[in-house]
Amino acid sequence: MKILFFKDIDQDHARAVSRSTAFRMGMLFGPAALLLAVIRLLEHSMLKAMGVREVGAVLGESAAPLFSILFVTMALGWAAYAAWPYVRPVWVMAGTVILGAGLLFWAKILLPPWMAGWVNLDVFQVLRWDLLTLLVLALACALIVDRLDGWMRVVSLGLIHALIPLLLLLPIFELGVILSMGSPLDGSLLSYSIRHLGELAPVLASEMSPFRVMLLALPLLITLLPLVLERLPALRRWILDAAPGTDVVPAWQAALAPVPLVLLLALAPSTELPPTHRTISYAGMTQSILEDTNFEPDDLAGLTTPAAPPFDTRTLRFVPTDTTRRLNVVVVILESVRSRSTTPYNPTLATTPFLDDLARRSLLVENMYALISYTNKSLVPILGGVYPELSRDIVEGRPGAVPAAGLPALLQPHGYRSAFFTPAQMAFENKDVILQNLGFEGIYGDATYDKTSFDQANYFGYEDRVMLEPSLAWVDETVAQDQPFFLSYLTLTAHHSYHTPESFGKKQFDDDEHLNDYLNAVYYTDAFLKDLFDGFERRGLIDSTLFIILSDHGEAFGEHGQKTHGDVIWDEAMQVPALVYNPVLFPESGRIAGNRSQIDVMPTIADALGYRIEGGLYPGFSLLQDVPEGRAVYHSARDANLAMAMRQDSLKFFYFNRRQPMQVFDTRNDPQERFDLAAQISPSLLKTVELKLLLWRRGVQLVYQDQLSPDEFFANVSTNQ
């Protein structure tokens, strides 16, 4: 430790800031400030463009301000070296970015446009508080180190060297999130990632690239930089040969000298940044983390209107009627398949020829919507008929945490055997516990199958065909026992990173490489569906089985700046394919109109089998019946504190927890959601929609939080007003 942090450099403790300490702080915080500035410029550019851009192009655009900042700062530092010895250590500690940034952006205000018109105040607004944070930390660390001696100084220097990677890893991680998802990191996602780092390790590893590996290595190189440079003979002589009293800075001067730098950063005019930039600073991330520690966001704090319980199905049951019929039920959940990428909804794409053929013989749902764009959350509305818990945590994965009777549990008293098959890992976010909570008897995941002749699809598991024969063997066993069955599949291949087996081959659906990979994965999923139906056909089970096919959510490819799904609530992630098929019940094909939701699957199965639903309050409507006029369909980001949406008729309302104004889109005339109509909507209607969304969220969260009956629920709401 002493060799690393002292290197035999004696400290004159009459100095407030010694030359060696100034050098050490400058070599740590200067490059750190430069790297932080580059990362923030990349984040700003990508978020402002509403999409991921080539890193090289962004760096090229940012080269002028970065090099200008460096040039101005180095010139000022050289002048300070000769003129004001007491300023030099402070300048070195402040680093090579901060002073130049402050002066340049003040020049934007004071100089004519032809001299400083290229300076972007938005960029400065992104940088200013982080640079100020580094400046204050550098000065504080320097003063602390120079007042310590012996082992305490060694330990403090070691902690400072460890602080630099910690300070830089957070923005590097955020940049990685933006590159991967097109959306910024927030406190809830950061907290979730830290708590589930082991589970997420394969996901993070899949996102590694040479550029990201280099970024991750830079903080370590920066913290080692002064340790290497101090061994150079010239620098050692410069530090060691300082005469007693040279470069001495009294403590009060050391404290006052950076005041102009602080003023340059803190008092410069500010510009309003988009809401997406809220967390791309240390201060913004800290605020987001603090907000996430509270159960209720700010917009719920003042809510006084009583919330109605949105569901209570724990005592719900299916009651036989005179029309009850014995049919097997198969629910196929297509991972990450969006409607606009399937042939029935987009005839220009030949991605799903089998699904298209089946749709011509089925009841095709014209407008089916996911409730939340996250698989383990979507299982609850699809297979339980109720809303999931609206936070990032997978509360549903705790034993007994789903306050609903799932479809397997509802059908079990009527002799139905149940099973769930997926190629995905069961351990991730306790998927197996979610399925147990929904009542499944048999749960088969990645560890169940012989994977010898199958390819790995992604970090979560193998290609879909790995589960085909085992599931059909389970069907044969159940049929041999003369039992009806409820069987559900969850495919995996169309999940990011969209890998298809080499033996399957690839088609050219789109010029964009990532989108083309995705469309090929959808094409593979369609081939799996055909194989599955062929297996039922060979067994003569088509006529005696009710098939419902739908997706858990869609997938985004930058249409609104976001990628994959996660917290996407735009229709590229929310509008999904869905159909109902049985050639005996529905001999003629048809279209199911109206706004439909995944919570409609449960009442649809009861309706098709001829059961009456009793003993509970459920939010869905059978797909076989007309929906009430003006039905409200709700959507949520995985974390409802970030965004929610409600659609009624053709209007879709986006709500962002008052961080930005509501947005409204007419999805009938503007299916790509490009033209915001909020300015044309009456304020009273916007307020009504906001209240509906808040009451919906409060009701769902309290039901999960307290597991209340309706009477208890209302009593609890009253005491919380």
CB 337 within 8 A of CB 525: yes
Confidence at residue 93, expressed as pLDDT on a 0 to 100 scale: 43
Residues 245 and 394 occupy one common structural domain: no
Q: Higher pLDDT residue, 491 or 252?
A: 491
CA 466/CA 455 separation, integer angstroms: 9
Confidence at residue 31, expressed as pLDDT on a 0 to 100 scale: 79
Confidence at residue 11, expressed as pLDDT on a 0 to 100 scale: 42
Residues 543 and 447 occupy one common structural domain: yes
Residues 607 and 488 occupy one common structural domain: yes
Q: Higher pLDDT residue, 705 or 114?
A: 705
Q: Rounded to two decimals, what is the model's pTM?
A: 0.80
Confidence at residue 16, expressed as pLDDT on a 0 to 100 scale: 43
- Looking only at the bridges linking them, the beta strands covering 596-597 and 590-592 are unpaired
Burial class of residue 97 in the structure, from the number of CB atoms within 10 Å of its CB (0-12 exposed, 13-18 middle, 19+ buried): buried
> What is the percentage of the chain residues whose pLDDT exceeds 70?
74
CB 688 within 8 A of CB 682: no
Give the single-character DSSP code of 388. P
Residues 240 and 138 occupy one common structural domain: yes
The 10s digit of each residue's pLDDT in 134-154 is: 777 777 777 777 677 777 877
CB atoms within 10 A of CB 436: 19
Confidence at residue 304, expressed as pLDDT on a 0 to 100 scale: 63
Residue 329: which of 577, 600, 43, 609 has the closest Cα?
Answer: 609
For the cut 60, the answer to whether the pLDDT of residue 440 exceeds it is yes
CA 642/CA 657 separation, integer angstroms: 6
DSSP letters along 299-340, please? HHHT--SPPPPS-BBTT-EEEE-TT----EEEEEEETT--GG
Residues 249 and 323 occupy one common structural domain: no
Domain closes at, from 628, 649, 664: 628
Residues 250 and 378 occupy one common structural domain: no
CATH number at residue 532: 3.40.720.10
Residues 237 and 341 occupy one common structural domain: no
CA 207/CA 338 separation, integer angstroms: 23
Q: List, in order, residues 6 or more apart from 383 with CB less than 8 Å away.
A: 331, 406, 407, 408, 435, 438, 488, 601, 602
Residue 543, CA distances (Å) to 92, 582, 586 in order: 80, 6, 10
Q: List, in order, residues 6 or more apart from 210 with CB less than 8 Å away.
A: none
How confident is residue 502, by pLDDT bands cut at 50, 70 and 90?
confident
Residue 679 lies in a domain: no
CB 343 within 8 A of CB 567: no
Residue ranges with strand state E in 306-458? 317-320, 328-334, 363-365, 368-369, 417-421, 442-444, 456-458
Residue 413 lies in a domain: yes
- Average pLDDT value for residue range 196-215: 69
Residue 210 lies in a domain: yes
How confident is residue 32, by pLDDT bands cut at 50, 70 and 90?
confident
How confident is residue 229, by pLDDT bands cut at 50, 70 and 90?
confident
Residues 255 and 337 occupy one common structural domain: no
Residue 347 lies in a domain: yes
Residue 463 lies in a domain: yes
Structure tokens belonging to residue 62: 């940012």
Residues 330 and 211 occupy one common structural domain: no
Domain closes at, from 267, 284, 302: 267
Residue 301 lies in a domain: no
Q: Higher pLDDT residue, 142 or 423?
A: 423
- Average pLDDT value for residue range 203-218: 72
Residue 292, CA distances (Å) to 280, 393, 656 in order: 16, 12, 15
What separation, in Å, do the N-terminal and C-terminal C-alpha atoms of the chain show? 58
Confidence at residue 183, expressed as pLDDT on a 0 to 100 scale: 72
CB 69 within 8 A of CB 101: yes
- Average pLDDT value for residue range 162-167: 86
Residue 640 lies in a domain: no
Confidence at residue 63, expressed as pLDDT on a 0 to 100 scale: 57
Tell me the sheet residues that pair with 462: 456
The 10s digit of each residue's pLDDT in 522-556 is: 999 999 999 999 999 999 999 999 999 999 999 99
Domain closes at, from 251, 267, 283: 267
Q: Higher pLDDT residue, 200 or 101?
A: 200
Q: Which domain holds residue 373?
A: 317-628
Confidence at residue 64, expressed as pLDDT on a 0 to 100 scale: 58
How confident is residue 220, by pLDDT bands cut at 50, 70 and 90?
confident
Residues 325 and 258 occupy one common structural domain: no
Per-chain mean pLDDT for the chain: 80
How many domains does the chain fold into? 2
Residue 578: which of 342, 315, 287, 328 has the closest Cα?
Answer: 342
Residues 262 and 325 occupy one common structural domain: no
Run of H or E residues at 647? strand 644-648
- Average pLDDT value for residue range 589-602: 96
Confidence at residue 77, expressed as pLDDT on a 0 to 100 scale: 52
Q: Higher pLDDT residue, 94 or 260?
A: 260
Confidence at residue 109, expressed as pLDDT on a 0 to 100 scale: 53
CA 336/CA 574 separation, integer angstroms: 10
Residue 585: which of 605, 615, 612 has the closest Cα?
Answer: 605
Confidence at residue 184, expressed as pLDDT on a 0 to 100 scale: 75
DSSP letters along 102-122, please? HHHHHHHHHS-HHHHTT--HH
The 10s digit of each residue's pLDDT in 609-668 is: 999 999 888 999 999 999 998 899 999 988 887 889 999 999 999 998 777 889 999 999
CB atoms within 10 A of CB 95: 26
Confidence at residue 313, expressed as pLDDT on a 0 to 100 scale: 86
Residues 262 and 330 occupy one common structural domain: no
Residue 299 lies in a domain: no
Q: What are the backbone angles phi and psi of residue 318, rounded to the nearest 5°?
A: -95, 125
